[in-house]
């Protein structure tokens, strides 16, 4: 059985701090190599119903950015060997000042930033602020990009690029075909390591993707399991761990 590198997505604080932390532990036990932790946002432009619903539920508790960073810090202290990437949207990062935000995130244990609505070439100083604080800015590539723009991104010198496997929102099933593979090869043509995600929910998909990406990204599938089992934490942990093993081993 071959290990597939897995980046697993969590919404900070969903559905509670305690359950979210249990889910993080279950993901790591199941084989997640990286945790991508999302700060809840009121109008997520790329997130499907599962993640959007989770964000809404957490925000209804008056959850703040500081709460999300505290959650990340707690995971980092418990699992210092696991890379933690912070995923959010530009306004949460821009409002306190990008350099201030990056400094605080790094102090909480964040090693990478994924901000989908900050383009790689107009990032308001995000890449520079990340580097100053020992983090990586991980820009997002999409199949809707022109070949010219993909070439510009792939040769821009980023260590990692997040490749969204299709246009639209995440959470619905993604078919991986020759066009998908061609797109991923273009993204990594400049030497960046590529994370591939958007609609990944099973081991069959991850086995195909693992041949061309650094890590497979799965998110909505875990958020749905957490939501469906939030009243039975033991069942939640078992199912999250089992799904993580399915996706990260073939």
- 249: alpha, beta or left? (left if phi > 0; alpha if psi -120 to 50): beta
Distance CA 146, CA 55 (A): 31
> Could you say which of 17, 29, 33, 36 is catalytic?
36
Task: For residue 107, indicate whether it is catalytic.
Answer: no
Among 181, 180, 139, 143, residue whose Cα is nearest residue 161: 139
Task: For residue 231, indicate whether it is catalytic.
Answer: no
Q: Are 150 and 187 in contact (CB under 8 A)?
A: yes
Other CB atoms within 10 A of residue 148 CB: 8
> Could you say which of 33, 47, 123, 214 is catalytic?
47
Distance CA 159, CA 150 (A): 15
Q: Are 109 and 75 in contact (CB under 8 A)?
A: yes
Other CB atoms within 10 A of residue 200 CB: 25
Distance CA 65, CA 167 (A): 28
**Which residues does the annotation mark as catalytic?**
36, 47
């Amino acid at each position: 059985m071959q290990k597939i590198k897995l980046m697993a997505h969590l919404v900070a604080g969903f559905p509670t701090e305690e359950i979210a932390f249990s889910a993080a532990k279950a993901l790591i036990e199941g084989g997640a190599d990286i945790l991508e932790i999302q700060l809840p946002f009121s109008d997520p432009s790329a997130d499907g119903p599962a993640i959007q619903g989770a964000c809404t539920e957490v925000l209804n508790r008056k959850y703040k950015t500081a709460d999300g960073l505290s959650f990340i810090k707690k995971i980092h202290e418990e699992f210092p060997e696991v890379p933690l990437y912070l995923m959010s949207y530009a306004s949460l990062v821009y409002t306190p000042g990008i350099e201030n935000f990056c400094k605080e995130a790094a102090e909480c244990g964040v090693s990478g930033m994924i901000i989908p609505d900050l383009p790689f070439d107009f990032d308001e100083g995000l890449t520079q602020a990340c580097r100053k604080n020992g983090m990586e800015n991980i820009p997002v590539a999409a199949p809707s990009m022109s070949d010219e723009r993909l070439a510009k991104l792939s040769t821009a010198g980023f260590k990692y690029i997040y490749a969204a496997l299709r246009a639209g929102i995440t959470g619905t099933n993604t078919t991986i075909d020759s066009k998908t593979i061609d797109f991923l090869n273009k993204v990594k043509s400049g030497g960046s390591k590529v994370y591939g995600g958007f609609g990944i929910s099973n081991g069959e998909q991850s086995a195909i993707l693992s041949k061309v990406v650094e890590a497979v990204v799965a998110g909505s599938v875990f958020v749905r399991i957490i939501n469906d089992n939030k009243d039975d934490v033991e069942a939640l942990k078992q199912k999250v761990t089992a799904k993580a093993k399915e996706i990260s081993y073939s």
